[in-house]
Amino acid sequence: MQVLIISGPVGVGKTSVAHEMFDQLSERDIPHAVIDIDALGISWPFGNGDPFNNQMAMRNLAAIWSNFAAAGATHAVLPRVIETEADLTPYRQAIPNATFQICRLTATPSTLRHRVTQREHGTSQEPLIARALHLAKSLEHSPTTFTVDTTNRPLPAIAQEALTKAGWL
């Protein structure tokens, strides 16, 4: 099993790139799953000391992974922020015996601010802008197999570059 985690700051395009990867891998008949890790953790209340509900997301990933594997998936694309090497441990537990790569998407601070402003219109807008700008800097030191810039680039080109760098195309 090959796993590609799509990491990067808020607003960089992790989920959009993952969905485009689905299309490109499907066109090439490569058996895969795209699993939105953020969606697997949307529940309340969050676990104690778990501000992004990662424990719930990882329990759900472990619970559903066998279904994708049984259906023949040989590749998995997982959009989610990876800040430290320790963040990878629950992924390795949820998808045992897999080979992991991390693609860190990047964008300029002005691009991140614009994207978050366009996407978020409620009370979370300002905190998400601050988080995006913080992550853009802090992720420079995060576990990364390769990077792909998303600034002013079309989605198909971004996904194709990442899949090529991963060795999947």
Cα separation, 63 vs 110, whole angstroms? 38
Q: What is the pLDDT of residues 49-100, one digit of tens each?
A: 888 899 999 999 999 999 999 999 999 999 999 999 999 999 999 999 999 9
Computed on alpha carbons and rounded to an integer, the radius of gyration of the chain in Å comes to 15
What residue ranges define each of the domains in the chain, with the CATH number in brackets? 2-166 (3.40.50.300)
Q: Which residues pair with 7 in a beta bridge?
A: 104
Q: What is the pLDDT of residues 29-51, one digit of tens each?
A: 999 999 999 999 999 998 888 88
User: Is 142:5 a contact under the CB 8 Å cutoff?
Assistant: no
pLDDT level of residue 120 (50, 70, 90 thresholds): confident
Residue 158 amino acid letter? I
Q: What is the DSSP letter of 141?
A: G
Please provide the average confidence, as pLDDT, over all residues in the chain. Answer: 95
Structure-token pair, residue 102: 């991390």
CA-CA-CA-CA torsion for 16, 21, 27, 29, nearest 10 degrees?
A: -140
pLDDT the model gives residue 121: 86
User: Is 168:2 a contact under the CB 8 Å cutoff?
Assistant: yes
pLDDT level of residue 151 (50, 70, 90 thresholds): very high
pLDDT level of residue 142 (50, 70, 90 thresholds): very high
User: Is 43:115 a contact under the CB 8 Å cutoff?
Assistant: no
